[in-house]
C-alpha cells in the first residue's frame, strides 16, 4: 500500500516527466543563464562574414551566428557611442536626457543609478555583474572625478560588482585603465591631471610635435601625445599607468575571462565593450597585415580573435549551454574617423555598412542598424530573424529572463520572445537619434527635418539630413534613395504623430529637433 506522501511524490514525478519543455528548450538550459554581452565599437552591419563580408575573415563571430540567432534588423538607439550605451544600460531613449552626446573623458557619470540600470536590475536578481572595456558614460561627479583618488560614482555605483574599464575612448584622455574605481598602476608620486581646455606647458602634443607620432591624425586628434599617438584632450602625469594601445585587446580579453572564471558558479552578467574597431586602430603586431585592409581590417581580425577567446573560455569552463551570448555594436561603421590609417585607401570592395546607407553619425539606416546576434545553445534555435529588435530593450528583456519585473521600464520593452527566437516579431516601432530623430515603424522610416550638413566633410559620411522630412519604404528601397514624403503626406502625418506620441510619453525634451520643435523640458 502506498502512503499518500509516496503517492504524491510519484504523481509529481510523472507530471514533470511529461511536462512539455518550452519550445527549443533542452534540459541543459538553465532558467537564469549567464549573460555575456559583447559590445563592439563602430562595427558595421557588413563588417563580418556572417553578414556578408568576404574580404575580412571573422570565423569566431561567424561561429556565434551559426550556433545562434542572427538578426537582420537589430539596432542600437543612436549613431554614436555614449547615447547608445546610455540607452542600453538605462532603458531610456538618450534624447530624453541632456548630456548624453559623445562625452569627453572628464565628464561626470550620466547614468542615474537611482532610476535603475540594467546591471543593478541583474544584480538585484542574484547576478554577479562585471564591466570590462569601453565605458564612455562619464565617471565621477559633474566636472569629472579625482583621477588620483576614488573614481566615483562610476561603474560600481551603476551596478557593476567588478569593473576594469577605460573612461571614454581610445582616442580621448585619460589614457589609463580604471580598475574597481582606481586608476590601475598609478604611481602616487606622478599624479594625473586632465584638461579638455588647454595643453600642459612643456608636454608634447600632436600639433606641436608631429615628428613624435607613429600614427598621424587626419582630422582633430592633435592634442596629448601618448604612446606615439595624439588624442583628444590633454593629460599630464600617470606615466606608469598609461595604456599601450597594442596590448589593449589582450588586456580586456584577459580581464573578461578572469571575471568569467571567478564567477562561473553563479549566474553572471558580463559586459565587454571592446576598443576595437574604434580609432586609433592599433592592433597587436600579431594581427598587423592579417586582413590586407590595413589597421581597420586588422582590428576586425583582432576583435574576432577576442570573441574566439571568450567562446573557448565558455567551452573550457562548460558554461556554453548556461550562457546567453549577445553580440552587437554601438553604432554603424566609419572608415576615416580621424587618423591616417589607410582605412580608406585599403577598403577595396568591402561594404562596411552592408546594403544600408550612411554609417556612424548618420540618420540613414546604417547609423543604427548593426550586427546583432544571440546565442544560447539548447534554448535559442539557430537561424536568422528579421524581427525589429533594439538594445534599448535589453533592460526589460534581460530582467524578464532573470526574474524581476521592472518598476520603471521607461522606453525598454520586453522583447524576449523575439530575442530567444520564439517569436518572429520584435518591436512595432523604434526611434533612432543622430542629430535628429527618425522613426521606424514596420518597413517604413521617417527622418525628421534638420539643419545639419548632408555630408560630413571629415568622415565623408552621408548624414541623412534634409531641411524637409524624409520618408522611405525600406522593403522596396533599402538604400533610402527615394524620398516618398511628398507622395504620401498622410503616412508622413501619421508617423509624425506617432513620433510625437513616443516623445511625450516620457521625459522631454531633448536638445534634438524631432517631430515638433521647441518643447519645454518637463520634469521626470
Using Cβ positions, the residue closest to ligand NG6 within the complex turns out to be: 220
Contacting ligand NG6 (CB under 6 A), which of 338, 358, 450, 509?
A: 338
Q: Which positions from 304 through 333 interact with Ca ion, judged by CB under 5 A?
A: 330-331
Shorter beta-carbon distance to ligand NG6: residue 176 or 370: 370
Q: Are strands 34-40 and 323-329 parallel, antiparallel or unpaired?
A: parallel
Distance CA 429, CA 502 (A): 10
Residue selected from 42, 73, 245, 341 as contacting ligand NG6 according to rule CB under 6 A: 42
CB nearer to Ca ion: pick between 42 and 411: 42
Burial of 477 (0-12, 13-18, 19+ CB in 10 A): middle
Alpha-carbon distance of 53 to 441, in angstroms, equals: 28
The verdict on 165 binding ligand NG6 (CB under 6 A) reads no
Q: Considering only 22-30, 41-49, 120-128, 172-180, which stretch makes contact with Ca ion by CB under 5 A?
A: 41-49
Q: Which of residues 210-269 bind ligand NG6 (CB under 6 A)?
A: 219-221, 232
Rounded distance between C-alpha atoms, residue 174 and residue 167, angstroms: 7
User: Which one of residues 169, 230, 255, 328 is an interface residue with ligand NG6 (CB under 6 A)?
Assistant: 169
Task: Convert 309-334 into a string of H (helix), E (strand) and C (coil).
Answer: HHHHHHHHCCCHHHEEEEEEECCCCC
For the CB of residue 84, give the shortest distance to ligand NG6 in the complex, in Å.
8
Assess 115 for contact with ligand NG6 (CB under 6 A).
Answer: no
Question: Using CB under 6 A, which of the segments 108-116, 123-131, 331-339, 414-422 binds ligand NG6?
Answer: 331-339
CB contact set of 234 (below 8 Å; sequence gap of 6+): 173, 194, 195, 196, 197, 198, 199, 200, 203, 205, 223, 224
Cell representation of residue 142: 559633474
Burial 171-198 (b: 16+ CB within 10 A, else e): bbbbbbbbbbbbbbebeeeeebebbbee
Phi, psi of 259, rounded to the nearest 5 degrees: -65, -45
From ligand NG6, Ca ion, none, which one binds at residue 232 (CB under 5 to 8 Å depending on kind)?
ligand NG6
For residue 281, state whether it binds ligand NG6 (rule: CB under 6 A): no
* Candidate list 171, 298, 304, 336; residue touching ligand NG6; CB under 6 A: 171
Task: Confirm or reject binding of residue 464 to ligand NG6 (CB under 6 A).
Answer: no
Beta-bridge partner residues of 128 = 268
User: Of 25 and 230, which CB lies nearer to ligand NG6 in the complex structure?
Assistant: 230
Position 47 contacts ligand NG6 (CB under 6 A): no
The residue (of 42 and 411) whose beta carbon lies closer to ligand NG6 is 42
Q: Catalogue the long-range contacts made by 489-496 (C-beta closer than 8 Å, 24 or more residues apart).
A: 491/444, 492/446, 495/439, 495/441, 495/444, 495/446, 495/471, 496/446, 496/469
Based on CB atoms, which residue is closest to ligand NG6, 33 or 144?
144
Name which position in 70, 156, 231, 278 contacts ligand NG6 (CB under 6 A).
278
Amino acid at each position: 500500500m502506498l502512503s499518500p506522501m509516496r503517492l504524491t511524490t510519484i504523481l509529481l514525478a510523472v507530471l514533470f516527466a511529461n511536462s512539455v519543455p518550452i519550445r527549443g528548450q533542452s534540459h541543459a538550459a538553465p532558467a537564469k543563464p549567464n549573460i555575456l554581452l559583447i559590445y563592439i565599437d563602430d562595427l558595421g552591419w557588413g563588417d563580418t562574414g556572417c553578414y556578408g563580408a568576404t574580404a575580412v575573415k571573422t570565423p569566431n563571430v561567424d561561429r556565434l551566428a551559426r550556433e545562434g540567432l542572427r538578426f537582420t534588423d537589430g539596432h542600437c538607439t543612436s549613431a554614436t557611442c555614449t547615447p547608445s550605451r546610455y540607452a542600453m544600460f538605462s532603458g531610456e531613449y538618450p534624447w530624453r536626457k541632456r548630456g548624453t552626446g559623445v562625452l569627453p573623458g572628464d565628464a561626470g557619470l550620466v547614468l542615474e543609478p537611482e532610476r535603475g540600470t540594467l546591471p543593478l536590475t541583474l544584480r538585484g536578481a542574484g547576478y554577479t555583474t562585471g564591466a570590462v572595456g569601453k565605458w564612455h558614460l562619464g565617471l565621477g561627479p559633474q566636472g569629472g572625478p579625482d583621477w588620483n583618488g576614488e573614481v566615483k560614482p562610476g561603474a560600481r555605483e551603476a551596478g557593476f560588482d567588478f569593473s576594469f574599464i577605460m573612461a571614454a575612448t581610445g582616442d580621448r584622455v585619460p589614457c589609463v585603465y580604471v580598475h574597481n574605481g582606481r586608476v590601475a598602476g598609478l604611481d602616487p608620486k606622478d599624479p594625473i591631471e586632465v584638461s579638455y581646455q588647454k595643453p600642459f606647458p612643456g608636454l608634447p602634443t600632436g600639433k606641436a610635435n608631429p615628428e613624435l607620432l607613429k600614427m598621424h591624425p587626419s582630422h582633430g586628434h592633435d592634442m596629448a601625445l601618448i604612446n606615439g599617438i595624439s588624442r583628444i584632450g590633454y593629460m599630464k602625469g600617470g606615466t606608469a599607468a598609461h595604456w599601450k594601445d597594442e596590448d589593449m585587446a589582450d588586456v580586456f580579453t584577459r580581464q573578461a575571462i578572469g571575471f568569467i572564471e571567478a564567477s562561473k558558479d553563479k549566474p553572471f552578467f558580463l559586459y565587454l565593450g571592446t576598443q576595437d574597431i574604434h580609432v586609433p586602430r592599433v592592433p597587436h603586431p600579431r594581427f598587423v597585415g592579417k586582413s590586407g585592409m590595413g589597421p581597420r581590417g586588422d582590428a576586425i581580425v583582432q576583435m574576432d580573435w577576442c570573441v574566439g577567446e571568450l567562446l573557448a573560455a565558455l567551452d573550457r569552463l562548460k558554461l556554453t549551454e548556461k550562457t546567453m551570448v549577445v553580440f552587437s555594436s554601438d553604432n554603424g561603421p566609419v572608415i576615416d574617423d580621424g587618423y591616417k590609417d589607410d582605412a580608406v585607401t585599403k577598403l577595396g570592395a568591402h561594404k562596411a555598412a552592408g546594403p544600408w546607407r550612411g554609417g556612424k553619425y548618420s540618420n540613414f539606416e546604417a547609423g543604427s542598424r548593426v550586427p546583432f546576434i544571440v546565442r544560447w545553445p539548447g534554448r535559442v534555435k539557430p537561424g536568422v530573424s528579421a524581427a525589429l529588435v533594439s538594445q534599448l530593450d535589453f533592460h526589460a528583456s534581460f530582467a524578464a529572463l532573470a526574474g524581476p519585473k521592472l518598476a520603471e521600464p521607461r522606453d525598454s520593452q520586453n522583447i524576449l520572445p523575439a530575442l530567444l527566437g520564439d517569436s518572429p516579431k520584435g518591436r512595432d516601432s523604434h526611434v533612432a537619434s543622430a542629430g535628429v530623430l527618425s522613426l521606424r515603424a514596420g518597413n517604413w522610416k521617417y527622418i525628421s527635418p534638420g539643419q545639419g550638413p548632408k555630408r560630413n566633410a571629415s568622415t565623408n559620411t552621408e548624414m541623412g539630413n534634409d531641411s524637409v522630412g524624409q520618408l522611405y519604404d525600406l522593403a522596396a528601397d533599402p538604400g533610402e534613395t527615394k524620398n516618398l514624403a511628398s507622395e504620401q503626406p498622410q503616412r508622413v502625418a501619421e508617423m509624425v504623430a506617432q513620433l510625437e506620441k513616443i516623445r511625450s510619453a516620457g521625459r522631454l525634451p531633448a536638445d534634438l529637433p524631432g517631430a515638433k520643435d521647441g518643447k519645454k523640458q518637463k520634469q521626470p
